[in-house]
Structures are given as structure tokens and as C-alpha cells.
Structure 1
């Protein structure tokens, strides 16, 4: 049932937000020259997939987890995109393709060894990663691997349609700060 909702919602979301995405795309060309950011992430069953986002950092920025990036590396447009969470909109393509869900554990990088270990212990990789979830709406990021894995597991074990829509609604109304940057 959730996969069907993911498919319909991502399709409708892409249609509804396409004008905004086009504007961000154009502004992004002026900001960085390459407005789309694609990065290999860990998916369900630890299969790699290419996560799609709007670029918020210069093209030359090293590929590290957001909590390891410096504030100065985020562009002015990138700050706005992150604060409004508009940088996440292209991930609706990942949801449409079945690589992600709207709700699930945030997909990490393959070089986040400690987080992978903690998530492996709790079988977090048995589900699709998501755009938002319990950790995101509670400002728990990947800088706390053990805590994040535990909250991810809690979300997975209690995920039902009511919680699915609750996390989406909380994200839309601005609960959670998005990716922390230090």
C-alpha cells in the first residue's frame, strides 16, 4: 500500500512542483553551473543507487556527509534550498523509480562505515531509504550513528499509514532542520 502511495504522490509531486523545480534549475545554473547533484548512496539491502538533489555546494566540494561539510561551502542559493527543503524535490524521481520511499531512513554514503555497522546490527537496510522520517523531524543526523540507527529502527517497527503521513506532514510544515552542516 505504501509503495502505491509513494508512486502516486511522487508522480503528482513532480507535476505540481515542476514549475518550482524549473526555476530552481535555472537559478542553479547561475549559482554553480551544475544545478543537479547526483551521489551514490546505500539503498535497500545495501544496493547502491544514485540519489538526485539540487546542488547546494560548489561543484568541486568533496563528497562527504552533510554534517562534515563546512558552512562556507554552501552557496547562497543552497542555503535557501536547504532551509526550505527544496533541494530534496528531485528525490521524488528516486521515489517514482522505487529506489526510495517518501518515508524511511535517510540514505547514507558508503564511506559512513560506523553508521553502516550500526544500521546492519538493527536490520535498517531491509527497507527502502526515505526522504524524511522520524530522525529527520527530530533533528537527529548522521553525526550520531548509533542513535540514528536506533531511531531508524524505532520508525521502521512502528511505521503504519498514520505515522507515514505524520512524518510527511511534519516535514512539510518545517519540523526538523534538514541536513545539519557544521
Structure 2
């Protein structure tokens, strides 16, 4: 009986060691973060605010890098990824606002300061944690992961070029 338990435990342990880390939660968090961008664009349109706000972008970038460093990631590699996310977010907002010129909406966006920004901060932290866990578990983002990323990160205003740039930056994040 004791031998059977040892055999079972060693088998389970060996399978868990060989298991490939799953990037799906990471990709889902990125998708969820980008899902807020239409509301951001609509909020800015309703309040006559520009989409590009360089000062706010720098604040977001600094906070993202700080969060990444706390999570144990290389700050410079994360900065490049968050710059890419910001570019993708602006692309979504610009394209959505262009559609609003011909297709006005009565939809009211979620509040930028009370709902969206806190959610974006939380999702940014989640992304950092997921990246760190994935990398520390031996995961590497390669061309093999691209189809899943491409299928998971979906937004009607996100082009394939936007996605490829985002994936490239994501794949270059490193642990400290």
C-alpha cells in the first residue's frame, strides 16, 4: 500500500513539473483591460476631452512600471509593453469615435474616474502578476502562443497590426 501511494505521488509530481504554463489568464486580462477603451473613448467624446493625453499616459506608465517592479519584473521591458497597450487603447478610441460621427449612441459610458480607472489599475496589476507567474513557471511567449493570443484579445477596433505590436512587446517582458 505504501509503495502504491509513493508511486502515485511521484507520478503526479512528475506530471505537474512537466506541465506547460497556461498563458490564457494573461491573455484574458489584456483583453479585459482593452474592453474598457470604447467607454473611455465615449466618455472623452461626451466631455470634449482629447483621446491623447500625454501627461496622463506618463502617469499610467510610471504606475505600471512601479507595479511591475514590485511584482519582480524588469521595468524597462514592462514599460515597452504598456506603451504598446496605450497605443492600442488610443487606436480603439480613435476608431470608435470616428464611428460615433456617423452612428451616434445613447449608451452612457462607465464613469472614467470612479469605475474605469480603478478597474484599469487593477487589471494592470493582474497582468503584471500573470506575466511574472507565467515566466517563473517556465513559460515563454513564442509564435506558438500567437494564435491563442490573437483569438483571445478581441476588439472590433483593434487591428491585426495593433495586436502583433502588443504581442511582440508582451513577449519581450523579462523577470528581474
- TM-score, length-normalised on structure 2? 0.28
More helix by share: 2
Higher relative contact order (CA 8 A, sep 6+): 2
- TM-score, length-normalised on structure 1? 0.27
Question: Which of the two has higher C-alpha Rg?
Answer: 2
More strand by share: 1
